[in-house]
Amino acid sequence: MKPLVNLLVIGSLVVAVLGAVTAYMPRLSLPDDQLVGLTLGSDAGKDQAGKPLVPAKSKLTAEHLAQLRDSGAKRIHVREFSLARWSGLWLFLAGTAGLIAGSVAARRSRAPQAAASQGRTASVDDARRSLSEIRAVIADIRATLQTMDAAGASAIVLERIGAAQRDLVPAFLNQRPAIAAALGQARTAQVMERFAMGERSMNRAWSAAADGFTDELDETLSTADELLAQSAEHLARG
């Protein structure tokens, strides 16, 4: 049973990732009215000299689109999100559904001894502490951003958010069995839903820093903190 569950989870994750990467990469086959005016997130196309046909941060025009299509480009990376342009939406939803199904199957297949062991080694207090530590990192970054130039801002977000994603986020997620035991499945779903949304905003901040869009950092981190605060509120009721 366990190998099948692992296969389901891995396959679903691959499908979800394949769908997710197209969220900001619309097809050039879309009508011009869905693409004109969008801002490129990275260079698009190359001329014969190897230089980009349309550089990053350009506002797309009909002429740009014609050039890119003539060059053979199939997709472009833009900064704006739209469900209507998301060609991989159904892949993402299918992958997410598979991950949920795999998670449920894995939980049901665990031995009672393993569940008891998890309950002993994890606690809701640990989850609250992990969540507080993540929010403290975000607050510290936002305070520091006010005194830094663009390069420094990008560097600190990449370093601190990257460390939080590596250490603090998994530490919180590992407490889910304890949260479920204390709050029940419905309340746990509220905690985890808000946490997942906050984590996605953290990921967007990291991506913005990596791409050099430092003007988006404070707003994105503020959104992440608000969502994590909502998760903490649900958790505090336990």
Q: What is the pTM of this model?
A: 0.49
pLDDT in tens, 137-180: 999 999 998 888 989 899 999 999 999 999 999 999 998 888 88
Same domain, 172 and 219: yes
Within a domain: 7: no
State the Cα–Cα distance between residues 16 and 23, nearest whole angstrom: 11
Please say which residue of 65, 83, 101 terminates a domain: 83
* Residue that wins the pLDDT comparison between 94 and 48: 94
pLDDT in tens, 64-78: 999 999 999 999 999
Residues in the chain: 238
pLDDT at site 56: 93
State the Cα–Cα distance between residues 191 and 94, nearest whole angstrom: 23
Ranking 58-67, 116-125, 187-196 by mean pLDDT, the lowest is 116-125
Within a domain: 98: no
Q: Are strands 52-54 and 44-46 parallel, antiparallel or unpaired?
A: antiparallel
Same domain, 79 and 120: no
Q: What total of structural domains would you count in the chain?
A: 2
| Predicted confidence band of residue 225 (pLDDT cuts 50, 70, 90) | very high
For the domain that residue 30 is a member of, what is the CATH number? 3.90.105.10
pLDDT at site 105: 84
pLDDT at site 120: 43
Same domain, 78 and 121: no
Within a domain: 107: no
Beta strands of 154-206 (E only): which ranges?
Answer: none
Q: Is 57 left (phi over 0), alpha (psi -120 to 50) or beta?
A: left
pLDDT at site 104: 87
Residue 79, number of CB atoms within 10 A of its CB? 16
In whole angstroms, how far apart are CA 19 and each of 7, 96, 209? 18, 10, 23
Is 133 a residue whose pLDDT tops 60? yes
Within a domain: 231: yes
Is 115 a residue whose pLDDT tops 90? no
Same domain, 76 and 148: no
* Residue that wins the pLDDT comparison between 35 and 105: 35
Same domain, 75 and 160: no
DSSP 37-58: TPBBSS-EEE-TTS-EEE-TTP
Residue 98's Cα: distance from chain center in Å?
A: 18
Within a domain: 213: yes
Same domain, 139 and 205: yes
Within a domain: 75: yes
pLDDT in tens, 82-99: 999 999 999 999 999 998
- Using the 8-state DSSP alphabet, how is residue 167 labeled? I
pLDDT at site 114: 55
Please say which residue of 83, 98, 132 terminates a domain: 83
Same domain, 122 and 223: yes
pLDDT at site 112: 53
Same domain, 122 and 220: yes
Please say which residue of 83, 98, 126 terminates a domain: 83
Answer yes or no: are the C-beta atoms of 39 and 59 closer than 8 Å: yes
Q: Which two tokens stand for residue 229?
A: 């605060």
Single-letter residue type at 116:
A
Is 122 a residue whose pLDDT tops 70? no
Within a domain: 129: yes
First CA to last CA distance, the chain:
33
On average, the pLDDT of the chain sits at 88
For the domain that residue 137 is a member of, what is the CATH number? 1.20.120.660
* Residue that wins the pLDDT comparison between 18 and 30: 30
Q: Which two tokens stand for residue 190?
A: 């509220």
pLDDT in tens, 167-217: 999 999 998 888 888 888 899 999 999 999 999 999 999 999 999 898 899
- Using the 8-state DSSP alphabet, how is residue 64 labeled? H
Domain that holds residue 54: 23-83
Residue 122's Cα: distance from chain center in Å?
A: 25
